[in-house]
Amino acid sequence: MPLIKHGRFAADLWTVYADDAPLQPDIPAVVSLARFLAQRAALTASALDLGVRLEPGEHPQALAEALDRLALVQLHFPSFTDGRAYSYARLLRQRYRYRGEVRAVGHVLRDQYLFMARAGFDAFETPPGETAQKWRQAVRAVGPAYQPAADDRRPVWAERRTHPERAPSQ
Amino acid sequence: MALQVLTANRLRDGAVVYLSPDGSWVERVAAARAESAPEAVARLEAAGRAAVVAREVVEPYPIAVEQGEDGRLIPVRYRERIRAEGPSIRLQCDEEAA
Amino acid sequence: MYRYDAFDAAFVRQRTEQFRDQVARRLSGELTEEEFKPLRLMNGLYLQLHAYMLRVAIPYGTLDSRQLRKLAHIARTYDKGYGHFTTRQNIQFNWPALVDVPSILEELAEVEMHAIQTSGNCIRNVTADHYAGAVAGEVEDPRIWAEIIRQWSSLHPEFSFLPRKFKIAVTGTTHDRAAVKLHDIGLVLTRDAAGAVGFQVLVGGGQGRTPMVAKTLRDFLPKERLLSYLEAILRTYNLLGRRDNKYKARIKILVHEVGIEEVRRLVEAEWEAIGRETSLDLPEAERARIAAHFAPPDLTPRPAEPPALVEALATHRPFRHWLRSNVKPHRTPGYAVVDVSLKPIGGAPGDMTDAQMEALADLADRHSLGEIRVSHAQNLVLPHVAREDLPALHRGLAAAGLATGNNRLVSDIIACPGLDYCALANARSIPIAQRISERFADLDRQADIGPLEIKISGCINACGHHHVGHIGLLGVDRKGEEAYQITLGGRADENAAIGRIVGPAFDADGAVAAVETIVETYLEERLGPDESFLAAVERLGLAPFKARLYPDKRAA
């Protein structure tokens, strides 16, 4: 799966481990929430780069105290129709002030990038054949944002007041 | 097996269509290709899947038909009759045009 | 009414271009139907029984004449010359080609309209009282808040893939015409003891296969905190709403399963946390900017009984019927709110031709400041008509076939498209409505029967609101035949109630006859003309109706 991070293709240095697979030294490791919680002391004491993968139903509150130690949180979309991860991404960014990578994995489609980017995702496992240019087009497809979210877009109601000239020309 | 034809909606405009004997999609159920042998119905369904891939139609499925007194094909279920013949109600615009 | 600024216009244009690209990708094969379906649904495009169907949003049911003319143009140019107004204040076109839809959306954008979020598992078009801003007794115009919600919910990054669709309705008066208790969230504008304006917040109402009346989540929410509170409800629902079964995915099921107290605790906790993190609530200046668009029109009081009206009343019977049932008091003396019936005797409820749309647009310009409303009962409204104009307006409406004087009477039937159009339906709705309407064609008889709301759905999804009809008819498939189950005593107002089933379903002929039997029973049993059908049903219960409908069964 091609990985797009901050709008550019990036090498994926992470390995997702099954719960019973031994972790290899020096390879950045993504583990399930269950494994992370079960082996938390050992994992956080290790020198490994650590990431956790959350499934729908796994609220990021479970990680709240450990986020400083995590370089990556993967939010899994088993199906693009399950929208819980949008809430998780916003909670990670806005409630738990997480600054690491929030990556969308699983059933990730181009027409969701805009929603995902606004909700706080900064990395995307994209379908085969995706290009960085198409990714950027999709994220910019609709410019004005009516509500504040986890990205840096100012909502329309704020722009109206302070920067009316920024309204996109037709 | 009862007599079956394959129906779908055309991708570009959504029109109700039926697979005809020459493999084209036609708007009249009476011009559809009807089959009763299970393997022949399976071939209709395979042709439908191919037409989906070819972006001609969406959501193909077989329906049961019977032959009316004049030999014309008529869908068995009332849902499919309405689909074949259009809304059963007189439309205001038809009334005005009349 | 609200007018787009450059940001709103750019938003809709860019969304239209995005859909044009999506359609092109579908036609080129880049998108499969499975991938395209949710995208087209989020732009209101369905694939129905005969064709595609495009549902165009009419936010909170407010239209101007320019927009109605554009709808007429679309009906004529891209469709078969008519449109269908729905129970959610929207309009549906039944025959557009997929390849034309981007152009239709572009034409809609020219008049500040769109089809965004008229379908899909997202926050749908927000509805409001169709008399908003025209009647006395409003705390505030609910459309101000409906517009604020419309903007906030548009392409919401967190709430576009909810467990299921989500409907919000707002009313500004205690007498509810917007069926707020039958929505996922109902908002009732109210004042607290100190006179501050806020909302009573209701949650978990809905129809479909598990009809439920909404419960009160909060007695008073200060109005300036609305958006953060909505965000807290939606997040709670997005995280906890069921996703394992689409029939149990609406918020009403969450409320039912965990209880209103627990939902309240979760929402309040979420709201408190959100309040610490971000400022979602609009600043006063932006609220004032939006509210200014809904400032009441500057109307000078006019004579209440002008001579032209008195004369027409004395000499013209259809005018008398129409005045009695379709003309309602306006907040300004000498003005009226006029219901425009889309229920001609024997017609398809809610259907309107392109010519009728243009005729009504002209009449709105002449008599109602160019403003038109859509009601959830599938009628239109001219909200600001001088009483002295009523005779001329009536003549104009009559010429266009829009002057049936049957508002809220037995022939003012709500009906979903049913099996004549809808891919989900089990039975036809429109022909049943037409036959009932023809049985009761005589307006004198209708007036004698009094207020009686018949509502017909062609399947359990209940788009025809049968659960809350005074008489409800639900189409079912009974061993390959269309059949109709009848309920009595439902209502959609501030005392909302779900109707009760009278007994086994009838075939189409039997259902039409049954409605007549029910009405006859009412006329025989009522205490007098002042006791409405609904009041009689509430007093009598189902027994006398059952006894007449199923004489062989001896009231069980």
| Residues C288 and C319 reside in one and the same domain | no
Do the chains contact at A167 and C17, CB–CB below 8 Å?
no
Bridge partners (DSSP) of residue C186 are C169, C202
Section C518-533 average pLDDT: 98
| Residues C264 and C354 reside in one and the same domain | no
Query: Please, what's the b/e burial string for C286-309 (b: 16 or more CB within 10 A of its CB; e: otherwise)?
Result: bbeebbeebeeeebeebeeebeeb
Band of pLDDT at residue A166, cut at 50, 70 and 90: confident
Q: What is residue C497's DSSP assignment?
A: B
Strands in A8-10's sheet, in edge-to-edge order, are A8-10, A3-5, A123-125, A101-106, A72-77, A50-54, A29-32, A15-16
Q: Domain boundary at C292, C315, C337, which?
A: C292
Q: Domain boundary at C376, C399, C422, which?
A: C399
Please count the other Cβ atoms lying within 10 Å of the Cβ belonging to residue A112. 24
Phi first, then psi: give them for residue C499, nearest 5 degrees.
-65, 160
Q: Which residues of chain A are within 8 Å of residue C6 when distances are taken between CB atoms?
A: 164, 167-168, 170
Alpha-carbon gap, residue C434 to C477, rounded angstroms: 20
Tell me how close the Cα of B25 comes to any Cα of chain C, in angstroms: 15
A–B touching, 3+ CB–CB pairs within 8 Å: no
Which domain range does residue C534 map to? 414-553
Section C27-52 average pLDDT: 94
Residue A112, pLDDT score: 94
Band of pLDDT at residue A163, cut at 50, 70 and 90: confident
Domain membership flag for residue C302: no
Chains in touch with B (3+ beta-carbon pairs under 8 Å) read: C
Full DSSP string of B33-90:
--B-SHHHHHHHHHHHHHHHHTTSEEEEEEEEEEE-TTS-EEESSHHHHHHHH--SSP
Task: Give residue limits of the domains in chain B.
Answer: 4-97
Residue keyed to tokens 């809610």: C350
| Residues C251 and C346 reside in one and the same domain | no
| Residues C11 and C145 reside in one and the same domain | no
Mapped onto helix, strand or coil, the DSSP state of residue A62 is: helix
Q: What is the pLDDT of residues C306-358, one digit of tens each?
A: 999 999 999 999 999 999 999 999 999 999 999 999 999 999 999 999 999 99
| Residues C538 and C438 reside in one and the same domain | yes
Do the chains contact at C273 and A95, CB–CB below 8 Å?
yes
Tell me how close the Cα of C26 comes to any Cα of chain B, in angstroms: 8
Let me know: does C231 contact C268? Beta carbons within 8 Å.
Answer: no
CA B20 to chain centre: 9
Share of chain C above pLDDT 70, in %: 99
**CATH number of residue C313's parent domain:** 3.90.480.20
Minimum-distance CB partner of C161 among A83, A142, A161 = A83
Strands in C91-93's sheet, in edge-to-edge order, are C45-47, C52-56, C91-93, C82-85, C351-353
Band of pLDDT at residue B97, cut at 50, 70 and 90: very low
Q: Is B12 on the interface with C (CB under 8 A)?
A: yes
Do the chains contact at A115 and C282, CB–CB below 8 Å?
no
Minimum-distance CB partner of C13 among A109, A119, A170 = A170
Minimum-distance CB partner of C157 among A95, A118, A141 = A118
Q: What is the pLDDT of residues B20-49, one digit of tens each?
A: 999 999 999 999 999 999 999 999 999 999
Residue A129, pLDDT score: 86
Tell me: pLDDT of A77 over 90.
yes
Q: What is residue A19's DSSP assignment?
A: T
Looking at CATH, the fold of the domain delimited by A3-141 is given as TIM Barrel (3.20.20)
Q: Which residues of chain A are within 8 Å of residue C22 when distances are taken between CB atoms?
A: 111
Structure tokens at A12: 């994926």
Helical spans, DSSP H, in C401-507: 430-439, 443-449
Minimum-distance CB partner of B55 among C27, C95, C99 = C27
| Residues C490 and C359 reside in one and the same domain | no
Residue B94, pLDDT score: 47
Q: Which of the residue ranges A35-39, B70-74, C15-19 would you say has the lowest mean pLDDT?
A: B70-74
Q: Which of residues 150-179 of C touch A (CB under 8 A)?
A: 151-162
Section C87-112 average pLDDT: 98
Q: What is the pLDDT of residues A48-71, one digit of tens each?
A: 999 999 999 999 999 999 999 999
Whether ipTM > 0.95 holds is yes
Tell me: pLDDT of C370 over 90.
yes
Minimum-distance CB partner of C49 among B58, B82, B93 = B82
Alpha-carbon gap, residue C358 to C106, rounded angstroms: 20
Number of structural domains found in chain C: 4
Structure tokens at C165: 């669709």
Structure tokens at C409: 């009477």
Tell me how close the Cα of B15 comes to any Cα of chain C, in angstroms: 5
Band of pLDDT at residue C556, cut at 50, 70 and 90: very low
Nearest-by-CA chain C residue for B84: C50
Q: What is the pLDDT of residues B13-23, one digit of tens each?
A: 999 999 999 99
Let me know: does C183 contact C168? Beta carbons within 8 Å.
Answer: yes
Domain membership flag for residue C235: yes
Full DSSP string of C334-351:
TEEEEEE-S--TTSPTTE
Alpha-carbon gap, residue B30 to C460, rounded angstroms: 33
Alpha-carbon gap, residue C48 to B56, rounded angstroms: 17
| Residues C56 and C189 reside in one and the same domain | no
Domain membership flag for residue C490: yes
Comparing CA positions, the residue from A127, A150, A147 lying closest to residue A138 is A127
Domain membership flag for residue C122: no
Alpha-carbon gap, residue C180 to C203, rounded angstroms: 9
Q: What is the pLDDT of residues C414-442, one digit of tens each?
A: 999 999 999 999 999 999 999 999 999 99
- Using CA of residue A112, residue A117, residue A121, residue A124, what is the dihedral sign? positive
Alpha-carbon gap, residue C29 to C31, rounded angstroms: 5
Residue B96, pLDDT score: 42
Phi first, then psi: give them for residue C373, nearest 5 degrees.
-120, 155
Tell me: pLDDT of C278 over 90.
no
Tell me: pLDDT of B3 over 80.
yes
Bridge partners (DSSP) of residue C539 are none
Full DSSP string of C106-166:
HHHHHTT---TTSSSSSB---EE-TTTTTSTT-SS-HHHHHHHHHHHHTT-SSSSS-SS-B
Bridge partners (DSSP) of residue C488 are C471, C500
Q: How many residues does chain A have?
A: 170
Domain membership flag for residue C118: no
Band of pLDDT at residue B95, cut at 50, 70 and 90: very low
Domain membership flag for residue C119: no
**CATH number of residue C194's parent domain:** 3.30.413.10
Tell me: pLDDT of B92 over 60.
no
| Residues C100 and C142 reside in one and the same domain | no
Which helix (DSSP H) or strand (DSSP E) does residue C201 occupy?
strand C197-203
Task: State chain C's mean pLDDT as an integer.
Answer: 97
| Residues C266 and C136 reside in one and the same domain | yes
Band of pLDDT at residue C554, cut at 50, 70 and 90: low
> C472 to each of A82, C107, C487, C492, how far by Cα in Å?
35, 38, 5, 12
Band of pLDDT at residue A165, cut at 50, 70 and 90: confident
Nearest-by-CA chain C residue for B82: C420
Tell me: pLDDT of B91 over 70.
no
Task: Give residue limits of the domains in chain A.
Answer: 3-141
